[in-house]
Amino acid sequence: MPQTRSDDQAATDDAVPGIDDAFDSDEDTSADDDGTGGDDTGGNDLGTSPSATLIAAIEWDDAGTKEHADLTGPELIAAFVRRLPNGPGVYRMFGEDGEVLYVGKARSLKKRVTSYTRLGGHTNRIARMIAKTRHMEFVTTRTETEALLLEANLIKRMRPRFNVLMRDDKSFPYIVISGDHEAPAIMKHRGARSRKGAYFGPFASAGAVGRTINSLQRAFLIRTCTDSVYESRTRPCLLHQIKRCAAPCTREISIEGYGALVDEAKGFLSGKSSQIKQGMAQAMQAASDELDFERAAIYRDRLSALSHIQSHQGINPQNTEEADVFAIHQEGGLACIQVFFFRTGQNWGNRAYFPRADSSLGPEEVLGAFLAQFYDDKPAPRLILLPIDVEDRELLSEALSVRAQRKVQIAVPARGEKRDLVDHALSNAKEALGRRLAETSSQARLLQGLAETFKLPHAPRRIEVYDNSHIMGTAAVGAMVVAGPLGFAKSQYRKFNIKGTDITPGDDFGMMREVMTRRFARLKKEHGEGPQPTAAKAFDGEEAVLPDEAEMPAWPDLVLIDGGKGQISAVKAILVELGLADQVTTIGIAKGVDRDAGRERFIVEGREPFTLPPRDPVLYFVQRLRDEAHRFAIGTHRAKRKKELVANPLDEIAGIGPSRKRALLHHFGTAKAVSRAALSDLSKVEGISEAMAKLVYDHFHEKG
């Protein structure tokens, strides 16, 4: 069966009991990325008592602070052991300045923590971790299963230095068929499942979802428009004309008939593809026998669309309905984990992950730690296939089964179709890691070349590139893109709506001054008075590991400005005002002669403007950075301009929501007609009280 959930199940499936209440004495308790948080369940799905775990954490915190302030390493850990129970739980190890070094779980807290008091028998990584420990905190749980779930959640939230960490934790897209409307719509969905409906997925990428929805439209004629558009239609839209929607909005099909199409789509996404196709084939044959060739052609086209979905999904197993297939490959100090998603016997895509892990860890340890974090906020399928056995496999299976309220099996196939799937994932993992090693090596050479060309003290780890976009000063925006050792860090991009009222429309210098003021003033407020010495964050004495986007330094090593001397002067003035003139390196990229690419002039303080050889790799690299900033700025500007163009005057009136707005537009036709309406006419609209009618009337007449 596919991974589908109702909105009622969603409120509990993603929440990990007790997590949001544990350790709250010194940690941020914001909701998870998917918006589900943990409050809805009360923290008691698995019997955990958040209040008890919190008391335990506070007691040990006080003890550690008062009695063991002068102890470090094994001595400190030994002092904590005396108070620890033999039951299961989770422990945290802290270094200097409160840095979380490690999060671990144990069947017996006392036995596990006692193992850290020995002076020998540890790997170099564990020995360093023990030596750096300055404090510990604990949370007790009822079962080891709860401890495993809590450990995975805390690792993802706190990103400890000595744990295996997922680098890319973006949410997966799903297909949702809404369940709160007379004519359900099909759409792409990410994040919390707050809307009632049937969810199908996960898909590996938004592109895979888009292609599938496109084909499902042709096969089942389900609408993709918003509910507000549906309500306002008076005649069928273009999608009906090109045979991609049955047009229930204008009753080109009855609600009952449309509901049958929706049920067929749900059946197809739920694994009943063969039955659905067989039924369509029979209906096509019946229509042909009745000489109704037009209706037969409709079924023919729908069957063709279904075949198109399955023919573009690569490998499709015959006997594996629902599974996630994992594989891991290690090389050059890095690891790649490849995961394939199979639902309803169809391949719904794959994604590569590059977890941060100590190079001394084997594939079993890395994969085992990764799996617990991977399913921390994702629904697990009925079957998980692995290339190798991992520690705590049975425990993880039990934990995922308890959360999903059904059996979740974790298997290591030795032969047959399932082994072929694992081997296919392994070959993809090897190829993905090879590409990543080549890309990071090339990126490192480019960053080093950039440092040499512009005489920087070291290769930059964080580059910020700024650009502005507007049309004669309207819809003005500033844009910042960020790049580092792993390429563009899109999660770090920022946009700035130009707010200054004293800026002359079209004043690029004034816009840049505002952007830089806001950016660096906030940076000083949140991250101190200036950048700290930059160094790759790695385990002591080991090969440095590549940082992920979340670990990039807050302060830039280099700032690139798309502009010449005027722009650089404006930026420098702001940096001087903020006391950062000597701490932030800025370089201007001026357009070349005739604005030709390849003839850019670079403005660097203390040097005459200069150009680079036409085929210099550093020149291409800087052009790529500049072009990405330009693309992001243009896209942000266009989105803002489009929003302003379609803005409705009714949106500006407090108290006028979608329902009242729809009622006014249905009654008067346009917003202009509403603005000209008399007070008595406004009060006649259904749902508009006399007080609301006066509010609408006063809004437009005060403007006049």
| Residue 199, phi-psi category: left (phi > 0), alpha (psi -120 to 50), beta (remainder) | beta
Which CATH number goes with the domain that contains 686? 1.10.150.20
d(CA 360, CA 543): 10
Question: Where does residue 137 rank: exposed (0-12), middle (13-18), buried (19+ CB within 10 A)?
Answer: buried
Q: What is the 3-state secondary structure (H, E, C) of 201-219?
A: ECCCCHHHHHHHHHHHHHH
Characterize the bridge pairing of strands 346-353 and 487-488: unpaired
- All residues at 6 or more sequence positions from 657 whose CB lies less than 8 Å from its CB, including other chains: none
Mean pLDDT score across all residues of the chain: 79
Question: Where does residue 110 rank: exposed (0-12), middle (13-18), buried (19+ CB within 10 A)?
Answer: middle
Q: Is the pLDDT of residue 547 over 60?
A: no
Tell me, yes or no, whether 240 lies in a domain: yes
- All residues at 6 or more sequence positions from 522 whose CB lies less than 8 Å from its CB, including other chains: none
pTM higher than the cut 0.85: no
Of 27-36, 310-319, 529-538, least confident by mean pLDDT is: 27-36
Task: Summarize the confidence of residues 595-618 as an average pLDDT.
Answer: 81
DSSP helix/strand/coil, 528: coil
Q: Are residue 602 and residue 460 in the same domain, yes or no?
A: yes
Characterize the bridge pairing of strands 323-331 and 383-385: parallel
Can you read off the two tokens belonging to residue 352? 């590569």
d(CA 103, CA 87): 17
Report pLDDT digits (tens) over 318-345: 677 789 999 999 988 889 999 998 887 7
Q: Are residue 498 and residue 616 in the same domain, yes or no?
A: yes
Among 618, 643, 668, where does a domain finish? 643
pLDDT of residue 315: 57
Q: Is the pLDDT of residue 597 over 50?
A: yes
Residue (of 89, 204, 196) closest to 149 by Cα position:
89
Tell me, yes or no, whether 279 lies in a domain: yes
pLDDT of residue 702: 61
Q: Are residue 475 and residue 612 in the same domain, yes or no?
A: yes
pLDDT of residue 122: 83
Tell me, yes or no, whether 215 lies in a domain: yes
Tell me, yes or no, whether 203 lies in a domain: yes
Q: Are residue 563 and residue 693 in the same domain, yes or no?
A: no
Question: Where does residue 112 rank: exposed (0-12), middle (13-18), buried (19+ CB within 10 A)?
Answer: middle
Q: Is the pLDDT of residue 593 over 70?
A: no
Q: Any bridge partners for residue 384, and if so which?
A: 324, 410
Report pLDDT digits (tens) over 9-56: 433 344 344 444 444 433 333 333 333 333 333 333 333 333 334 434
d(CA 489, CA 172): 19
Report pLDDT digits (tens) over 403-441: 888 899 999 999 888 999 999 999 999 998 888 888 888
The rounded percent of the chain whose pLDDT value lies above 90 is: 19
Residue 532's pLDDT band (cuts 50, 70, 90): low
Q: Are residue 180 and residue 116 in the same domain, yes or no?
A: no
Characterize the bridge pairing of strands 89-94 and 100-106: antiparallel
pLDDT of residue 311: 53
Tell me, yes or no, whether 440 lies in a domain: no
Q: Are residue 665 and residue 591 in the same domain, yes or no?
A: no
Tell me, yes or no, whether 486 lies in a domain: yes
d(CA 372, CA 368): 7
Report pLDDT digits (tens) over 362-417: 999 999 999 988 988 788 888 999 999 998 899 999 999 988 888 999 999 998 88
Task: Summarize the confidence of residues 131-143 as an average pLDDT.
Answer: 89
Can you read off the two tokens belonging to residue 683? 């009060």
Tell me, yes or no, whether 428 lies in a domain: no
Among 158, 192, 227, where does a domain finish? 158
Which CATH number goes with the domain that contains 125? 3.40.1440.10
Tell me, yes or no, whether 316 lies in a domain: no
Is the four-CA dihedral 164, 165, 167, 172 of positive or negative sign? positive
Residue 685 lies in domain: 649-703
Is the four-CA dihedral 126, 128, 129, 135 of positive or negative sign? positive
Work out the number of other CB atoms within 10 angstroms of the CB of residue 202.
25
Report pLDDT digits (tens) over 12-24: 344 344 444 444 4
Residue 677's pLDDT band (cuts 50, 70, 90): confident
Q: Are residue 551 and residue 609 in the same domain, yes or no?
A: yes
Q: Are residue 630 and residue 664 in the same domain, yes or no?
A: no
Report pLDDT digits (tens) over 149-193: 899 989 988 889 899 888 766 778 889 999 889 999 999 988 777
| Alpha carbon 313 to chain centroid, angstroms | 24
Q: Are residue 81 and residue 21 in the same domain, yes or no?
A: yes
Which CATH number goes with the domain that contains 513? 3.30.420.340
- Structurally, how many domains does the chain consist of? 4
pLDDT of residue 32: 37
Task: Write the DSSP symbol of residue 162.
Answer: T
Report pLDDT digits (tens) over 211-250: 888 888 888 889 999 888 888 888 888 998 888 899 999 9
Residue 655 or 410, more confident: 410
pLDDT of residue 310: 56
Task: Assess contact for 53 and 140: CB atoms under 8 A.
Answer: yes
Start-to-end C-alpha separation, the chain: 61
Q: Are residue 215 and residue 143 in the same domain, yes or no?
A: no
Q: Are residue 661 and residue 622 in the same domain, yes or no?
A: no
pLDDT of residue 412: 94
Q: Are residue 181 and residue 118 in the same domain, yes or no?
A: no
Among 311, 335, 368, where does a domain finish? 311
